Amino acid sequence: MSEPRSGDSAGRGRILRAALHRFAADGYERASLRAIALDAQASVTLITYHFGSKQHLLDAVDDWLRSLFEQAAAASAAYSGTKKLDTFAASIGNLLASQADVRDYLRRMVVVDQSPNGTRLLQSLLTLTRDLSGDSPAAPDDPPWAERSLRFLLLTLGPTLVGPALQRCVPDVFQPPATNVPSTRRAGISDIGGGEDSASIRKRGPRLPRQRT
């Protein structure tokens, strides 16, 4: 997972990382600026200096995640045909599989809290997917499932969002550990991870921000 914006100070980056973790674990209402400051080895004053309020801090975390999604989409746009979605899915899937805080944050915002922030993150992913695939929203006479981009998101994010519930029903559902995004062939999209470029993305993995002193 890449660093927050290059112009950010080390302190701001630590706060964003700590906020991502705390919001994922506790939710927005229960997470306190004091706990985030403690995790970030910073002060509440520094948080308010950089972000102003807890809501603005939450929005900054979302901006950071959206920038990661946009970077993945920009890299995928260099390919043609279905390889665009293959590469994008491999990158997003690897991010979610490898970074527990990102995975738990999305689940918290989208499923547990059902927050407007979670809805906006999903909308960002859907827009990027439509841009890569050339899809348009389903026509008024078509069911929503007719849209390939929507099916793509369901297959990519499904294990992330409902994985814990599925594991309670079927304990071995993800054994051996699922490090790749499930195949999208049933959605009319080519298999994810079948090409050399997707494999290299998974091998490289997301880049975690370095802790600087």
Is 117:63 a contact under the CB 8 Å cutoff? Answer: no
Instruction: Return the pLDDT at 77.
Output: 92
Instruction: Return the pLDDT at 7.
Output: 47
Domain boundaries along the sequence of the chain: 61-204
The encoded tokens of residue 82 equal 């279905």
Alpha-carbon distance of 69 to 6, in angstroms, equals 16
pLDDT above 80 (res 104):
yes
Alpha-carbon distance of 140 to 127, in angstroms, equals 18
Place of tokens 């660093």: 3
pLDDT above 50 (res 197):
no
Q: Report the pLDDT averaged over residues 141-146.
A: 63
Highest mean pLDDT among 2-11, 89-98, 182-191, 198-207: 89-98
3-state secondary structure string across 47-99? HHHHHCCHHHHHHHHHHHHHHHHHHHHHHHCCCCCCHHHHHHHHHHHHHHHHC
Instruction: For residue range 49-101, list pLDDT tens digits in order.
Output: 999 999 999 999 999 999 999 999 999 999 887 788 889 988 998 999 899 99
pLDDT above 70 (res 127):
yes
Q: How many CB atoms lie within 10 A of CB 168?
A: 9
| Residue of higher predicted confidence among 147 and 18 | 18
| Residue of higher predicted confidence among 140 and 105 | 105
Instruction: Return the pLDDT at 159.
Output: 79
Q: Determine if the peptide bond prior to 116 is cis (ω within 30°).
A: no
Q: Where does the pLDDT of residue 146 fall: very low under 50, low under 70, confident under 90, or very high at 90 and above? A: low
- Cα dihedral sign for 124, 118, 181, 183? negative
Length of the chain as a residue count: 213
